[in-house]
Amino acid sequence: MKQTIGQRIRLALEINHMRQSDLSKKTGISPSAINQYISGNFEPKQNNIYLLAKALNVNEAWLMGYDVSIERSDNSAPLITEQEVALLKLFRKLSETGQDEALKRVEELSELSRYV
């Protein structure tokens, strides 16, 4: 029987001698969300699968339940860069109003030639 994402997160935590709180700190994903993933109540979105796999040093496809090696491949290109991950973490801390304002400001920067 195919393991769930939650079961694989739990296994990877054990292999890495990590707690859910450690994983939360490494990924910026809330402890309650990680608990929901492990419990099987929710499945992580693609960007969170990347963050979880990277923090747990496992292959994203393995984490999603595919029959592939658990080992993370060094030659696999990340879905998003470290800088994008940092930006996303900060963005998620903002209220809805703050997120709207952040989008406006980034859009303004993207229109200035010295930033593109």
The residue ranges of every structural domain in the chain are 5-63, 82-115
Residue 29 confidence (pLDDT): 97
Give dist(CA 57, CA 16) in Å, integer.
8
Residue 51, both tokens = 């963050």
Task: Find the length of the chain.
Answer: 116
Q: What is the per-residue pLDDT for 80?
A: 66
Residue with the two structure tokens 């200035």: 112
pLDDT means over runs of 10, the chain (116 residues): 89 94 96 96 93 94 88 66 80 92 94 89
Give the C-alpha distances (Å, rounded to integers) separating 67 from 4, 8, 76, 79: 12, 12, 17, 20
Burial of 62 (0-12, 13-18, 19+ CB in 10 A): buried
Topology, domain 5-63:
434 Repressor (Amino-terminal Domain) (1.10.260)
Q: Which residues pair with 71 in a beta bridge?
A: 58
Least Cα distance to 81 among 51, 39, 46, 42 occurs for 51
Measured CA to CA, the distance from residue 98 to residue 104 in angstroms comes to 10
Return the pLDDT at 79.
Answer: 61
